[in-house]
Each structure stands twice: as structure tokens, then as C-alpha cells.
Amino acid sequence: MQDSQPTFNPRTYLQLYLDGDYDQLSVAFIEMLAHFETVLYTEITPELQYFIDVFIKNFLYLFSQADYVLGDRHALRFIQLNPIIANLTAISHQKTTDYYLHILQKQPQNFIKILTLLNPRCKTEVDYPLLFSTNAALAARWYSYYIELYLSAQVNPIARKNLRRHIAYTDDERLIEFANIADVYFGATYINHEGDRPIKQRLNQAIRDNTFCQTANIQNINPNPRKIAIITAFWQQNHSVYRTLHIFLEALIPDYDLTLIYLGSNLDTVDQTLFKDVISLEVVDGALNLDPIRQNDFAIAYFPDVGMSPESILLSNLRIASIQIAGTGHPVSTYGSNIDYIISGGTVEVRSLATKHYDERLVLLPGNGAVHDCPNYELQNPKKSRSEIVINCPWLGQKINEPLVKLLGFIHKKATKKVFFRFFPSHSLRKNGLIPFSRDLAQILPSESFEVILGKPYSDYMALLEEGDFSLDSYPFGGSNVMLDNLYLRKPIVGYEGKKWANRIGPQLLRQVGMAELVATNANDYVKLALKLVDNTAYRQGVGDRLRKVNLNKQIFQTDEPQYFKRAIAYLQEHHETLHQDNSRKPIEIKADADG
């Protein structure tokens, strides 16, 4: 969060430029940009606005001078700072770097500068082949950092269009070096959930061709059929991955010996109760140290959440065990890794779309493919702090996009009662994306009709949800735990159903509690349902009353699905060789009855 405002003297920058001390000028620019990279400002005071305006004015003017030549040692750092420069410029009255890009295009030795300033908020057209022909390695780095704005800029129509075009550029064989694989891999799904396959395939291939995979030399010796490796960076009790998958792992005890391969070094908050062994994989000298697992006897490697950490992406491209399985912690295909199966739920998935949505063989449990924990929260029944109808939008930054916010605009315009939207992006708006994000929202919604609430402790977050009148789920990437939390609070919530697990699990939970009427399958119905909950007080209260009568233990928490998960593990272990040889892509159905 923000602390005291930094200071700088524009004359100092100018003097360094006039003296030809370009190296020190670069250092000064980088130091100031690094401050904004790490310190999040939550509000724009007149003093801060003036400071950013003056800094951006001086930075862009001097940076675009033809005789200011960047030293090689600063090139990568400036390219890495592309997202923060984009956000600071958006905060300033300059808004975009387009004017200075136009100037740079007419100069020699402009390549690094163009990569530094060319970002998704720009209207300047990107000549991708030219960039990669000039210097493929640096262009690939820029390609990676450019994507980081998926967390905060997708409400902006220009940025959203550019990001979607950007991840579609994958046919260039020179795109082989990625700087931040987690943002590229994870972000692609939220930029275009129907168009993320090519970029993931390109990234996975680049990883396998890299020294990391080529020299990994993993030896899976005499696999012990009882031993399963659980590979994750997110095994904390309040984390979304843990909340939906740990009950599956509990069902494997005592028939299997579980080893947690924790992707990190700090085990203080990690729940280790299910595991016979715990191994930490850490980055040593800039590389993930594989020594603890280089020789192993795991029969199965289970990845609850491939894509949510860079280590999980790297490891999914190795062959740690002969059978490798993904879970619904991040419910999308890896598209081209060494994962063999993904275990999901037959009540949620569209079977006919299995081969379109997954490169892995889909395994369908009788159920949802996830079992939710009962939230650790005691209802408080708080009094409302606002007179409007408060609509909760508990959406992480990457889930908030222009088409979705436009639907909120329709709701605001057509509602007969005043509405107020609360956005809950948690900690996702990094690198000072909050203020540009809020301003982009204000281009669609009146600024007095919404607020953005940053990361809160879980109990505070739940209390705010409880205070709201009702909630809306996000689209096209919905919320699994978001839906569960609202049902637990007996809070009406509108689901928006699509064709993938991530936008079908929420609607399925609504059906389980007898609230199919709150499921929309198109934008028009989504708006109509929201307006009904706004304008019809008796209906909204009636939905809440019916939800309070629902036995969530019976309808959601108590399920045989963990035993079906255990059955799926046993089935895959027994039939893996046959399944591997038949090359079928048909979903594998795990039957509810033992003899089925």
C-alpha cells in the first residue's frame, strides 16, 4: 500500500541528459519507476496527480530524445517496466504513450525504447514480424511483459482488443523465450478463454525445448503403487484450491501414501496433515532445484492447480511419474504439457466438447469434480451502510472485462431503484493498476455508483458480502468458491452459464440448492435476473428466505464424490497402459456404483 510520496527534481533529469550522462539518467528513471512498481497507490490526491503528471511528462520527453541512447545493461529492465509505465501514463493526463511512439518510429536505435513504451493501452499498431526480425529474444521478453496488463486493463476496450490480438500471435517460430511464464499461461485464459490453446502450446513447447527440461533427468525408479505426489504452491486452508480439493485427498488415506511437493520455501501456513512426507522445491541460483525429486518412486503425480504458479507449469512439462493428473484447482487444459488426465465432474462438463476443451483425457466423476469446504465464518447479519441496492461483484481483476461491465451499465441504467456495485478484485491489481482500472470502470459506470475494495481478510470480505443485497457471478470465467460463499451467506446470486467447467460449476451449485431460476445462459437473461432482484424487493427477500431453508450439508457438503475420486485414481492406475495405447479422447466415466 502507499506510503510517503517520492520526490524528484526535473532539473536533475534534464541536467543528466544535457551532460550526456545517459547511463545515470537511466538509473534515475528506473529507480522512480521501481517505486511505483512495488508501492500501490489506492487513491489519487491532487498532489499525487501532479507528481505523476510531471514525472511522466519529463520521462517521456527525455526518453524519446534521439541522442539519448540506452545502455545494454538497462535494456531488459526498461522492457520489464513496460506494464508500470503503461499504468502510470494512464494515470497521468497523457493517458497513452502513442504520441512518443510516433516520434520514436522515425528515429534510429529506437528498438528498446519502442518495446518499453508499446503496451496494450496504445492505439499504435504492432508490427510483430518486424519486432521479432529486429531482435527475437528481446521481442519475446516484451511479448511476455505486455500480457501483464490482463490483470487490470481488460475493462478498457482498446487494451482488451490488443491483448486478444497479442496472444493470437503464436505462429512465429522465433517466439521461444518467455520472461514470465505464469502471466502468459494464466493470463491467456482470461484474455480469451476460447483462444488460449495456441499460446499455451507454444509456451509448453518452449519449456520442453529449454535447458530446464533437457537437463532435468528425472528418474522414476520402481514406482510404488501406494505413493502419490501432490504438486502445488497453494495448500493453505483459506486458499481456493485447498477449499475445493483437500477432501478428495483425505479420501485417499490410508490406502495411499501422499507426498506434498510444495512449490516454495515457507511452510508455515501450509497444511501438512495429510502427508507422509513434505518436500519443498525452491529456486536456487535462479533455477528450480529438482534434486529432491530427481530420483523418485511415485506412481502418480497429481497437480491440483497447473498454471497458478510458474513452478507448476515447468513441472507439468516433465515426466515425474508415469501417470500425471490435473485437478480443477485451475479448471482449464494445460494444452500440450505432459499431463495425461484431468479429473472433473460429470454434472458440470459438456461431454461432447471434451476434445475441444482439453488436450488431456477427461475423467468424469459422478458429481462436480470438486467438493467444497464449509466456510469458516459465522454469520453476522450486519446493518447496511448504504441506502442503495448493493450488488456484490466478487471478481478478481483478471475476471473483469469490458463486455461484463457493460452489462452492469445496462443494469444501472434500467433499474428503477438506485444501485451500487462493489468490486472485490483482492490483490490482483498489481503494479498500480488500481487507479487506471477504476477510471476505466468510470467510463461505463458513474463513478458514484461503485467502489473497489482491495484484499481483505476472509472474515472481513465475507462480512461485506453479507451486507450486500445480492451478488453477480463473473463471466466467462466464473467463481466456484465465490458461488459457495454466497450460498453459505444465503445471499441471492445470479450465475451465468457457459460451456466450460469454470462457468458451469456455479450454476450447477445453484441447481443443487433448488435455485435454477437464478441461472442465466445469455447476457440478456443475466441482466433481466439482476433487474428482478433489484426492483422486486419481495422476490429478492423471498429468494433469501428460501436459501435460509436449504440444508447445505445435505445439498452440497455431504457427498460421496471423494470416494469416486479415490475410485478414479485406482482405475487410472490399473488401466493406464491400455488407456495410453488406445489413443481415445472419449471421456472416462467413473461409475457411481462399484460394479458399474
Q: Give the confidence band of 596 by pLDDT, cuts at 50, 70, 90.
A: very low
Instruction: Report yes or no: 229 and 261 within 8 Å, Cβ to Cβ.
Output: yes
- Is the same domain home to 324 and 410? no
The cell for 118 is: 508499446
pLDDT (tens digit per residue) in 272-293? 999 999 999 998 888 899 999 9
Bridge pairing between strands 450-454 and 295-303: unpaired
- Is the same domain home to 52 and 158? yes
Instruction: Report yes or no: 336 and 201 within 8 Å, Cβ to Cβ.
Output: yes
| Structural domain includes residue 566 | no
| Structural domain includes residue 435 | yes
- Is the same domain home to 295 and 405? no
Is pTM beyond 0.85? Reply is: yes
SS3 string, 411-429, reads HHHHCCCCEEEEEEEECCC
Total count of domains within the chain: 3
| Structural domain includes residue 373 | no
Rounded distance between C-alpha atoms, residue 196 and residue 192, angstroms: 6
pLDDT (tens digit per residue) in 135-178? 999 999 999 999 999 999 999 999 999 999 999 999 999 999 99
1 has a pLDDT exceeding 70: no
Contacts of 476 (CB under 8 A, 6+ apart): 193, 498, 500, 502, 503
User: Which residues are registered as beta bridge partners of 426?
Assistant: 454
* Residue span of the structural domain in which 438 resides: 389-556
pLDDT (tens digit per residue) in 544-580? 999 999 999 999 999 999 999 999 999 999 999 999 9
Instruction: Report yes or no: 115 and 135 within 8 Å, Cβ to Cβ.
Output: no
Q: Which of 222, 300, 254, 230 is nearest to 574 (CA)?
A: 300
- Is the same domain home to 145 and 282? no
Q: Which of 487, 536, 488 is nearest to 515 (CA)?
A: 487
Contacts of 19 (CB under 8 A, 6+ apart): none
Instruction: Report yes or no: 488 and 410 within 8 Å, Cβ to Cβ.
Output: no
- Domain stop point among 332, 365, 398: 365
Give, as one character, the DSSP assignment of residue 52: H
Q: How far is CA 1 from the centre of its chain?
A: 21
What CATH number corresponds to the domain at position 261? 3.40.50.11380
Element (H, E) at 250: helix 240-250
The cell for 264 is: 516454495
| Structural domain includes residue 581 | no
| Structural domain includes residue 380 | no
Integer CA distances (angstroms), 358 to 37, 206, 330, in order? 36, 20, 13
| Structural domain includes residue 596 | no
pLDDT (tens digit per residue) in 201-250? 999 999 999 999 999 999 999 999 999 999 999 999 999 999 999 999 99
Number of CB atoms found within 10 A of residue 277's CB: 13
pLDDT (tens digit per residue) in 345-370? 999 999 999 999 999 999 999 999 99
| Structural domain includes residue 583 | no
The confidence score (pLDDT) of residue 7 equals 87
The cell for 95 is: 493517458
- Is the same domain home to 292 and 440? no
Helices (H), 39-171: 46-63, 72-80, 82-91, 98-104, 111-117, 128-134, 136-146, 157-167
What CATH number corresponds to the domain at position 518? 3.40.50.2000
The confidence score (pLDDT) of residue 295 equals 97
- Is the same domain home to 60 and 183? yes
Q: Give the confidence band of 332 by pLDDT, cuts at 50, 70, 90.
A: very high
- Is the same domain home to 242 and 310? yes
| Structural domain includes residue 289 | yes
- Is the same domain home to 191 and 227? no
- Is the same domain home to 196 and 231? no
**Percent of all residues in the chain with a pLDDT value above 90, rounded to a whole number:** 94
- Is the same domain home to 202 and 247? no
- Domain stop point among 206, 230, 261: 206
Task: Please list, residue by residue across 445-458, b when 16 or more beta carbons sit within 10 angstroms of its beta carbon and e when fewer do.
Answer: beeebbebbeeeee
- Is the same domain home to 196 and 313? no
Average pLDDT across the chain, whole number: 96
- Is the same domain home to 43 and 164? yes
SS3 string, 433-460, reads CHHHHHHHHCCCCCHHHEEEEECCCHHH
